[in-house]
Amino acid sequence: VDLTELSEAQDRRLMAALAAGDEDAFRGLFGRYAPTAKALAMRVVRQPHMAEEIVQEAFLSMWRHPDGYDPSRGTVRAWLMGMVHHRAVDTVRREESQRRRADDASAGLRDEVTDHADDVVEHLQRPQEQRAVRAALAEIPPEQREILERMYFDGDSQTTIAEATGLPLGTVKSRTLLGMRKLRASLEGMER
């Protein structure tokens, strides 16, 4: 049993307890994922107060509607980060904050670390996974990685990316799929 499996098993136990109304389980999941959730929200919306609000909404939703989690559709982390990401993307598109972010749209992950150095906290329990994901991202061909990052971290839609890059929409989608497959294969390889 590797660390990832142990972590997922612990998440499932906490989620089951949370669904039964266990406040400590809620605090446990909050402690495990709220800092990453805020980093994700911040990366997309780029506004601390908005990011904090998104995190609060997502965890409130989790507390109120734990039945929304379906184990057959993925891990607790994937579900939670999906809620955060969905809200962040929805917010950034609604607020048209692409305009505010235009100047640094090309900033990469390392730039983001520098941008928010004051907010960065210690990597508590997942520095190894962070390194693994960054290494996996680095292995993806640049033309695929750019699309993945624009979609996930900048909140750009496939249509927006196609228009901005001049690529056919079909190419954007196929590169997305190839990049995701490559990323998944790299991460699985690192876990073994």
Partner 1 sequence: MSRNHDRIEELLAVRALGGLDGEDVADLDRMLADHGDCEECRALEAASTATASALAMALDPLEVDPAMPERILADHAAEPEVRDDLAARRDREGPRWLAVAAVAAVVVLVAGSLAVIRNGSDDPPSNPAQRLVTFEGSDTATLAMAFVPGQSGVIFWGEGLPDPGQGQTYEIWMIEDDEPISGGCVSPTDGRVAAYVDADVTTAEQMAVTVEPASCPHDAPTGEIVLSATL
73 or 99, CB closer to partner 1?
73
Minimum CB–partner distance for residue 25 and partner 1 (Å)? 11
> Which CB sits closer to partner 1, 13 or 113?
113
Q: Quote the least distance from Cβ 192 to partner 1, whole Å.
A: 15
How buried is residue 103: exposed, middle or buried, by Cβ count under 10 Å (0-12/13-18/19+)?
Answer: exposed
Distance of CA 6 to the CA centre of its chain: 20
CA distance 126 to 11: 14
Closer residue to partner 1 (CB): 100 or 130: 130
Query: CB of 88: closest distance to partner 1 in angstroms?
Result: 8
Least distance to partner 1, CB of residue 103, Å: 20
49-69: b (≥16 Cβ within 10 Å) or e: ebbeebbeebbeebbeebeeb
Q: How far is CA 163 from CA 65, 159, 172, in A?
A: 38, 6, 10
Least separation in angstroms between CB 34 and partner 1: 4
Question: Between residues 15 and 172, which has the closer beta carbon with respect to partner 1?
Answer: 172
Using an 8 Å Cβ cutoff, are 186 and 136 in contact?
A: yes
Tokens of 160: 């927006």
Compare residues 86 and 100 and give the one whose CB is closer to partner 1: 86
